[in-house]
Amino acid sequence: MKEQMNIAKEKMNKSLNALKNEFASIRAGRANPAVLDKVMVDYYGAPTPVNQMSAISVSEARILVIQPWDKSSLKLIEKAILASDIGINPTNDGTAIRLVFPQLTEERRKELCKSVKKYGEECKVTIRSVRRDTMEKFKAMKKNSEITEDDLKDCEKKVQDLTDKFCADVDKAVAEKEKEIMTV
């Protein structure tokens, strides 16, 4: 029983962490190096993440500076950023690439908030499916007489409490991200 609870907790935790990683890649008008996490550069025939081939820093609130260790890869990085879905045009000065994040419009902020809520709901659905799978395992254990009826009720309550806790954490993460997005 304890093992099933730990497995459920671990899966729910992974869902929450995936949600937080997704939130990190949503740009909220401020420069955030995490927006480049999914950008891959075709470097010597191998897709390589930008953050593994350059130093990425925030020079001002809305400016991200990318300084590749190999200056010959500047054009490749610039091309990869243009091909990505970031929606920002890079500025290449020969030694570094600058990404200037534009201020978000009110309409765009609301769109981002909607997608944040959608990601939050998807995460909750995943957490609830972990709950369902865990409950089914406990019911199978009861059917096979491995646990008693009282143990089953106790386990169901614990799984529900765990689910409620993680859903509350998701709501909190969604609220924080919405606040960050709506802050001008």
> pLDDT digits over 66-89, tens only?
999 988 889 889 888 888 877 788
Q: Which amino acid is at 14?
A: K
- Dihedral, CA atoms, 21, 27, 28, 32, nearest 10 degrees? 80
Q: What is the pLDDT of residue 167?
A: 94
Nearest to 27 by CA among 67, 87, 78: 87
> What mean pLDDT comes out for the span 6-20?
91
Q: Return the CATH number of 2-24+105-182, one of 3.30.70.2190, 3.65.10.10, 1.10.132.20, 3.60.10.10.
A: 1.10.132.20
Residue 69, helix vs strand vs coil: coil
pLDDT band at residue 165, thresholds of 50, 70 and 90? very high
> What mean pLDDT comes out for the span 104-112?
84
pLDDT at 118 over 90: yes
pLDDT at 20 over 70: yes
C-alpha triplet 88, 90, 91: angle, nearest 5°: 140
Residue 164, helix vs strand vs coil: helix
Q: Which amino acid is at 52?
A: Q
Nearest to 166 by CA among 5, 1, 21, 16: 16
Q: What is the pLDDT of residue 130?
A: 93
User: What are the residue ranges of CATH 1.10.132.20 in the chain?
Assistant: 2-24+105-182
Question: Which residues lie across from 92 on neighbouring strands?
Answer: 97
Residue 9, helix vs strand vs coil: helix
Tell me if 127 sits within 8 A of 19, measured CB to CB. Answer: no
Q: What is the pLDDT of residue 184?
A: 63
Q: Which amino acid is at 130?
A: V
pLDDT at 107 over 90: no
Third-level CATH fold of 33-100? Gyrase A; domain 2 (3.30.1360)
Q: How far is CA 127 from CA 38, 59, 141, 165, 175, in A?
A: 25, 38, 21, 10, 18
pTM over 0.85: no
Residue 66, helix vs strand vs coil: strand
User: What are the residue ranges of CATH 3.30.1360.40 in the chain?
Assistant: 33-100
